Amino acid sequence: MNASSFKQNVPADQPDTLIYLDHCATTRPCPAAIDAMREALCTNWGNPSSLHCMGTAAQHLLQQARMTLLQTLGYENEKPENLIFTAGGTEADHLALFGTTYAKAQHLHGGKIIISDSEHAAVEQAAQALETMGIEVVRIPTRGGVFDMDAYQKALTPHVFLVSCMLVNNETGAVNDIAAIAAAARRVRSDVTIHTDAVQGYQKFPFRLSKLGADLITLSAHKIHGPKGVGALYVSPAVCKSKRLRCIITGGGQEHDMRSGTENMPGIAGFAAAAAWGDKQLREHLKKLHMLRDHLLHRLQTDLALSEIQCNYPQSALCAPHILSITLPHIKSNTALNFLSARGICVSGGSACSSNHPQISRTLLHFGLDRNAADSTLRISFSPENTIDQLDRFADALREAVTTLIRFS
């Protein structure tokens, strides 16, 4: 796939040569997703809960989408109730944390949960809310987003009923070994629930349900060239059978009584279409992402003008190929962002989900960067639609930014 696979829809005040390198924030919907959404909006627009023919057709589309997503996760014996559609990754994370806690409500004396200290704000702030309810939350230290397994082993006790750790860190691309995290917890307590936010890992880092070891998995459509406003939570058969998850939105009993509210059928249809499209080309896409990342790293390491740029990725851990974190010499990230944006280049200074409330990145501070360095860091995130030419133009613009802006620092 190349950049011409998508029709360019660039805002009027942006140049025609837009270079979009912020795919961790969101992705352009692929043609398959757009076609599926159009069909659900214009033709198959019934309510899946209705009993007439339009409702039946919508219900069929809903179940088909559910099974499509399960198949991309490595479907084996899963049933439709093993996937719950939500309004996005944040809601899926909240369903995982609050829903697991509510299910344990009668047995929570002394109960605690474990998360990493570099989780997405959706998990971190949900954990903070649980703390106000009397739940003990243990935060395991990370370095560059990588879970400290030694500290984790020491924190595990029979009182831990939930462990949540992201699969791929959304700032550094570090990949956590969820299978090892799950196995360690289950040696201490067999019915512990393991949750992973796989929003940045799904279709960026290959995994299958049978190998991952997680009971609950958060997914988001708009990170895989699907629409915004729709996500999903995978729920393992073991959790379903033991009723270790309760709904947090009550009402009409949709989504197998786990998430009330009429389903967003255009969004769900687009999600499933994007997932099927990406899964079909997963090997090709991953190969392209590795090639793009390696090329940009080579430019940064061999271009003398860019030699002071620091690349932030843990040397001892696996990294997803679509994320590269770099720290500029003495240039605030917002200044660099504005400089690049004026030249039609879109990157991020951190997680876009929290850009309206800027804070120094916990992940980068835990990586050993001081506050000034963390505040001078950019996140570049690729998609298979990017090209080598775009990365070369980005590197040239970055060289211009470094040589120009450092004089004013």
Residues labelled catalytic: 353
Helix, strand or coil, per DSSP, at residue 154: helix
329 neighbors 308 (Cβ within 8 angstroms)? yes
Residue type, 86: T
Pairing of strands 323-327, 377-381: antiparallel
* Integer Cα distance of 306 and 398 in angstroms: 8
Q: Which residue has the tokens 């660039």?
A: 10
250 neighbors 106 (Cβ within 8 angstroms)? no
* Integer Cα distance of 123 and 138 in angstroms: 13
The set of long-range contacts for 122-125, using a CB threshold of 8 Å and a minimum separation of 24, is: 122/89, 122/90, 122/93, 122/94, 122/197, 122/353, 123/93, 123/97, 123/164, 123/166, 123/197
Residue type, 31: P
* Integer Cα distance of 153 and 170 in angstroms: 24
* Integer Cα distance of 266 and 309 in angstroms: 43
Q: Which residue has the tokens 């703390």?
A: 131
Q: Closest Cα partner for 101 from 139, 66, 128, 70?
A: 128
